[in-house]
Structure 1
Amino acid sequence: MISARMLLLISRGVDHYERREYGRLFQMTRTFAYHKSNLTGQSKQDILRDTI
């Protein structure tokens, strides 16, 4: 039998892991937009809007 406390810990762990992955993805997208705007002279907001 899985206790409520263990269930909470498991769900929190998954949530934390997903949040970290999304954070990394978001960071990569921002970095990509930054470099591309330096190359093309397009604004970062436009690139992010086109990418996502």
Structure 2
Amino acid sequence: MASGQCVLIAPEVFDQRDEDGMAVLLGEHPAPELHDGVRESAAVCPAAAIRLEEK
């Protein structure tokens, strides 16, 4: 499944591959000011493919 919701919510953190539509993480440790968008992306991901590890 490749819905792209995370890319729409947090384009600074996620991108979508042209060849298959799969989302990719642009960086392993997003800046703190992007964390809310990452959390929202995880919450709305229809495939539950985004897992957060908060320290």
- Which category of TM-score, normalised to the shorter sequence, fits these structures? under 0.3
Which structure has more strand as a fraction of its residues?
A: 2
Decide which structure has the larger Cα Rg and report it.
1
Which of 1 and 2 has higher RCO (CA within 8 Å, sep 6+)?
2
TM-score (norm 2): 0.25
Q: What TM-score do the two structures reach when normalised by structure 1?
A: 0.26
Structure richer in helix, relative to its length = 1
